[in-house]
């Protein structure tokens, strides 16, 4: 064997080429190194090129995702229309204001660490983000700026820092409570067991079950994903009612007030307070549940565009004329960063305010009427001892529980006075403390209850004006004499008041004297003669048993009994004799009574009472769009009472005049005035378990009627003694205000 370095297995063929077979590369180590270098370096070059591209060329693309702006449409608050009285005073209005709002992350305490880190890193150049001391310095600086914001805001707005801290804590507590509920819901969902897997018998089914269990198994020791609510990216009010100069100051120094917004807001004010509170009504924010219910009622869309939190009318004019008073909100486009902070805002649709509604009420007369009711319900204390005779004074009647006074124009149906008592202060009820609101709600006298159109009582003898009308239309002669013996058939039933107290009747009376002296027996006999059908039909023609149509919500129709009713399957006839004197099961509202008197006074036109003289209904232009700011003057609405003759009305009017003018009339002592003639009817309606209801209803002046009026005191006692004096004082106030003129010469003493 030759002793040499070459392997015996080496191919001696030199003509195989430079490389030859694969194992011949050992003969050329440089080639081997070059190939190895190419295998290792080429992928690194590709990776390096990609890294360079990501870092240098595409860094802005990915970084832009963190600074990407998103668009959001925000509603611009609108001013709802005002409610004005006839003399131009404001009863309700929207007041525009300015409000300071701060992003939740800036008011949160302690601040969210992830948010702080993001804000700090955004301030540091990329090359210095790996320096802990640089990050710590910038973090301290940012937190100091955050703390300084509240001190500077307190100084600018004159709101103590402690108060701002309280408001911040309230917002944070609400958001954190919501977040805890969401987290709890997620935890409960995670604890729910997975549905069992059906057992398998084949090897393929077992393999599938193993795969399903492996996929469904939750990873171990993995921290749950952090929840971020949209409320954590929103702005919250911290200061309200700032002026325009302060807004300019805050907006001109964004470096001092970062992530602070000054936005337009509105709030509803009721300058009259308790005056005409039941008529004006009030608005309250729409809750989420109420909004959902409204959406369900309006599947085609809400024409008024309500959102949760918007104020919506609850009672009175605020509710009935909601479609007129409601404004249309505008819209603005907001540009937000990834943290929900506003970068830019732009208005895309201006807000359109609601239309005003002008009331028919005479504010001074309304005030006088409410004062009269207040004195009747809460009379001054009376000394129990007569200081001259030293004898005990006669026991006084208990004060009335509540009352109502109404005055209506007999030509147009406009209400000059619509007073209910007790009343309440709208501002206290809406903006007062919970204790103040509760005090109003639990008051046993029900001050929130609007008695004008919802209180239903037996009308007593004021209803005899209707009965007299029905009798005359049925053929009874007004001057026909009737002898009243004090009772109809039996001394213990169907009696007149003089017989109850003195054992005597009214003697010979005709229609006029029967009305003047309130003779029950006369009207009992008249109702018996004409039968229930005629009486109830006439009452229905005058609008009893049905709403009057006044522009107030939820009006009560009262109760006009049917001629025949069925109780336990057995027919029962109506007690039409009791109905004839305003008793039995008959109930009416004060508004129905004043409308009846208006129809008697104006010649038989049954008017629709109304409280709004000008409505906010927009006039439609030729192009079909509403003209902004236009109003519509409401025309009187009425219908004639059928088959009501002039002779009938004249006879009834004469009898109503005698109630006050005749010396033995029930209103002579307490209602009669020298300055102006008053016509009307007193009424004392029996009530179960307490004092009678006191009524007076009529019109003034008696010789040329202009206004119908009604006074009712619930549990007030005698109509002539208790309601009568209030009517006299009311008419005196009308004379003083020039609402009516003196119709006759003042008689000499």
Query: What CA–CA distances, in Å, run from 150 to 76, 269, 358, 718?
Result: 27, 30, 45, 66
pLDDT of residue 485: 92
Segment 289-342, tens digit of pLDDT: 888 888 888 888 888 888 888 889 999 999 999 988 988 878 788 787 766 667
State yes or no: pLDDT of 94 exceeds 60.
Answer: yes
What kind and span of H or E run contains 31? Answer: helix 29-52
User: How does pLDDT run across 257-275, given as a tens digit for each residue?
Assistant: 777 888 777 788 999 999 9
Mean per-residue pLDDT, 96-102? 84
Contacts 24+ apart (CB under 8 A), 161-166: 164/238, 164/239, 165/109
Q: Write phi, then psi, for 591 (nearest 5 degrees).
A: -65, -40
Between 474 and 394, where is the model more confident?
A: 474
CB-based burial of residue 403 (10 Å sphere; 0-12 exposed, 13-18 middle, 19+ buried)?
buried
Closest CA to 409 of 634, 589, 93: 634
Lowest pLDDT segment from 251-255, 506-510, 573-577: 251-255
Q: Which residue has the higher pLDDT, 80 or 657?
A: 657
Q: Which two tokens stand for residue 401?
A: 């529980």
Q: Say whether the peptide bond before residue 362 is cis (omega within 30 degrees of 0).
A: no
- Please give the helix or strand (H or E) that residue 651 lies within, else none: helix 646-661
Whether residue 71 is predicted with pLDDT greater than 60 in this model: the reply is: yes
Distance in angstroms (rounded) separating the CA atoms of residues 118 and 337: 12
Q: Whose CA is closest to 406, among 390, 421, 393, 385?
A: 421
280 within 8 A of 317, measured Cβ to Cβ: yes
pLDDT given for residue 565 in this prediction: 82
SS3 assignment, position 71: strand
Comparing 5-9, 154-158, 241-245, 369-373, the range with the smallest average pLDDT is 5-9
Q: Which H or E run contains 347?
A: strand 342-349
Tokens found for residue 17: 């080429």
Q: Quickly list H helices, 392-549.
A: 426-431, 434-441, 451-454, 464-473, 497-502, 511-517, 520-541
Q: Report the share of the chain in percent with pLDDT over 90.
A: 42
Q: How far apart are CA 666 and CA 695, in angstroms?
A: 12
Mean pLDDT of 517-534: 94
What's the confidence (pLDDT) of residue 735? 94
Tokens 């409960």 belong to which residue? Answer: 188
Residue closest to 407 by CA, chosen among 376, 364, 365: 365
End-to-end Cα separation, the chain, in angstroms: 172
Burial class (CB in 10 A: 0-12, 13-18, 19+), 419: buried
Distance of alpha carbon 222 from alpha carbon 225, whole angstroms:
9
* pLDDT at residue 495 tops 70: yes
DSSP at 624 = S
Does residue 197 surpass a pLDDT of 80?
Answer: no
More confident residue, 196 or 368: 368
Arithmetic mean of pLDDT, 486-507: 90
> What are the structure tokens assigned to 180, written together?
């805890």
In whole angstroms, what is the distance from residue 266 CA to residue 674 CA? 52
Model confidence at 128, in pLDDT bands (50, 70, 90)?
confident
- Across the range 201-214, mean pLDDT stands at 72
pLDDT tens, residue by residue, 176-193: 888 888 888 877 876 766
DSSP 178-217: HHHHHHHHHHHHHHSPPPPPPP--SHHHHHHHHHHHHHHS
Query: Distance between CA 86 and CA 358 in Å, rounded?
Result: 6
> How far is Cα 320 from Cα 553, in angstroms, rounded to an integer?
6
- For residue 219, the model assigns a pLDDT of 55
Q: At what angle do helices 646-661 and 590-602 cross, to 10 degrees?
A: 110
Upper half-sphere CA count for residue 605 (Cβ side, 13 Å)? 14
Please say if the pLDDT value at position 554 is more than 70.
yes
CA 617 to each of CA 358, 409, 636: distance values in angstroms, whole numbers, following the listed order: 12, 23, 16
**Alpha helices of 229-348 — where are they, by DSSP H?**
244-252, 277-280, 288-297, 316-320, 322-325
Mean pLDDT of the chain: 83
Q: For residue 69, give both structure tokens.
A: 């702006």
Q: Which residue has the higher pLDDT, 347 or 619?
A: 347
- Specify which of 116-130, 335-349, 610-624 reaches the highest per-range mean pLDDT: 116-130
Greatest CA separation for the chain: 172
Cβ contacts of residue 658 below 8 Å, gap of 6+?
Answer: 512, 513, 515, 516, 665
Quick one: pLDDT at residue 730?
Answer: 96
pLDDT of residue 130: 83
pLDDT at residue 653, as a whole number: 96
Strand 83-84 versus strand 235-242 pairing type: unpaired
Q: How confident is the model at residue 672 (pLDDT cuts 50, 70, 90)?
A: very high
713 contact partners, CB below 8 Å, separation of at least 6: 376, 377, 400, 402, 403, 693, 694, 722, 723, 726
Nearest-10 crossing angle of helices 363-377, 724-736? 160
d(CA 619, CA 370): 36
pLDDT (tens digit per residue) in 432-462: 878 888 999 999 889 999 999 999 999 999 9
Q: Please, are residues 153 and 145 in contact by the beta-carbon 8 Å criterion?
A: no
How many Å apart are CA 413 and CA 90, to the nearest integer? 22
571 contacts: CB under 8 Å, gap ≥ 6 = 564, 565
């Amino acid at each position: 064997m030759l002793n040499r370095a070459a392997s015996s297995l080496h191919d001696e063929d030199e003509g195989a080429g430079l490389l030859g077979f694969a194992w011949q590369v050992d003969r050329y180590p440089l080639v081997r190194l070059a190939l190895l270098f190419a295998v290792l370096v080429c992928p690194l070059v590709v990776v390096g090129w990609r890294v360079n591209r990501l870092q240098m060329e595409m860094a802005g693309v990915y970084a832009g995702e963190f600074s990407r702006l998103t668009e959001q449409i925000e509603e611009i608050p609108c001013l709802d229309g005002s409610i004005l009285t006839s003399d131009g005073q404001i009863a309700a209005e929207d007041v525009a204001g300015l409000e300071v709002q701060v992003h939740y992350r800036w008011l949160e305490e302690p601040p969210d660490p992830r948010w702080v880190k993001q804000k700090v890193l955004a301030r540091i150049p990329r090359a210095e983000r790996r320096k802990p001391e640089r990050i710590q310095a910038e973090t301290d600086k940012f937190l100091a700026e955050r703390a300084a914001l509240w001190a500077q805001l307190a100084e600018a707005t004159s709101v103590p820092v402690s108060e701002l801290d309280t408001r911040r804590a309230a917002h944070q507590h609400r958001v954190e409570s919501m977040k805890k509920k969401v987290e709890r819901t997620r935890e409960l969902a995670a604890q729910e067991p997975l549905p069992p897997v059906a057992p398998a018998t084949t090897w393929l089914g077992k393999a599938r079950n193993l795969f399903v269990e492996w996929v469904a198994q939750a990873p171990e020791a993995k921290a749950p994903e952090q929840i971020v609510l949209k409320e954590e990216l929103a702005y919250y009010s911290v200061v309200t009612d700032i002026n325009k100069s302060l807004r300019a100051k805050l907006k001109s120094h964004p470096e001092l007030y970062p992530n602070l917004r000054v936005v337009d807001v509105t709030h509803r004010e009721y300058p009259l307070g308790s005056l005409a509170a039941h008529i004006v009504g009030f608005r309250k924010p729409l809750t989420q549940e109420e909004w959902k219910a409204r959406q369900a009622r309006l599947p085609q869309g809400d024409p008024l565009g309500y959102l949760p939190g918007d104020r919506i009318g609850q009672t009175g004019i605020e509710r009935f004329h909601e479609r007129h008073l409601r404004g249309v909100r505008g819209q603005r486009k907001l540009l937000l960063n990834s943290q929900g902070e506003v970068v830019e805002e732009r208005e895309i649709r201006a807000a359109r305010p609601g239309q005003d509604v002008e009331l028919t009420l005479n504010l001074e007369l309304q005030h006088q009427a409410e004062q009269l009711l207040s004195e009747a319900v809460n009379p001054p204390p009376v000394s129990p001892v007569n200081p001259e005779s030293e004898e005990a004074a006669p026991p006084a009647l208990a004060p009335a529980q509540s009352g109502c006074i109404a005055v209506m124009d007999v030509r147009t149906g406009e209400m000059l006075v619509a007073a209910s008592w007790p009343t309440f202060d709208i501002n206290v009820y809406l903006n007062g403390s919970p204790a103040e609101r509760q005090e109003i709600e639990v008051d046993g006298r029900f001050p929130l209850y609007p008695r004008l159109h919802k209180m239903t009582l037996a009308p007593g003898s004021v209803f005899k004006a209707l009965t007299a009308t029905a009798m005359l239309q049925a053929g009874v002669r007004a001057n026909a004499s009737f002898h009243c013996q004090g009772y109809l058939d039996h001394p213990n039933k169907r009696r007149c008041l003089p017989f109850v107290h003195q054992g005597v009747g009214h003697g010979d009376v005709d229609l006029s004297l029967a009305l003047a002296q309130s003779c029950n027996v006369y009207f009992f006999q008249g109702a018996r003669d004409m039968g229930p059908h005629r009486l109830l039909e006439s009452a229905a023609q005058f609008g009893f048993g049905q709403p009057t149509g006044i522009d107030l919500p939820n009006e009560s129709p009262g109760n006009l009994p049917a001629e025949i009713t069925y109780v336990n399957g057995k027919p029962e006839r109506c007690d039409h004799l009791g109905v004839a004197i305003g008793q039995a099961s008959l109930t009416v509202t004060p508004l129905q009574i004043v409308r009846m008197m208006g129809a008697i006074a104006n010649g038989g036109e049954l008017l629709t009472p109304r409280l709004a003289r000008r409505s906010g209904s927009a006039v439609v232009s030729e192009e079909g769009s509403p003209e902004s700011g236009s109003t519509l003057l409401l025309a009187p609405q009425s219908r004639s009472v059928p088959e009501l003759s002039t002779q009938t009305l004249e006879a009834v009017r004469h009898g109503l005049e005698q109630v006050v003018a005749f010396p033995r009339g029930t209103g002579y002592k307490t209602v009669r005035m020298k300055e102006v003639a008053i016509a009307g009817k007193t009424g004392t309606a029996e009530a179960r378990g307490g004092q009678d209801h006191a009524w007076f209803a009529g019109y003034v002046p008696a010789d040329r009627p202009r206004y119908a009026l009604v006074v009712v005191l619930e549990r007030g006692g005698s109509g002539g003694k208790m309601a009568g004096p209030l009517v006299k004082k009311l008419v005196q106030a009308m004379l003083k205000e020039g609402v009516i003129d003196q119709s006759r010469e003042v008689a000499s003493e």
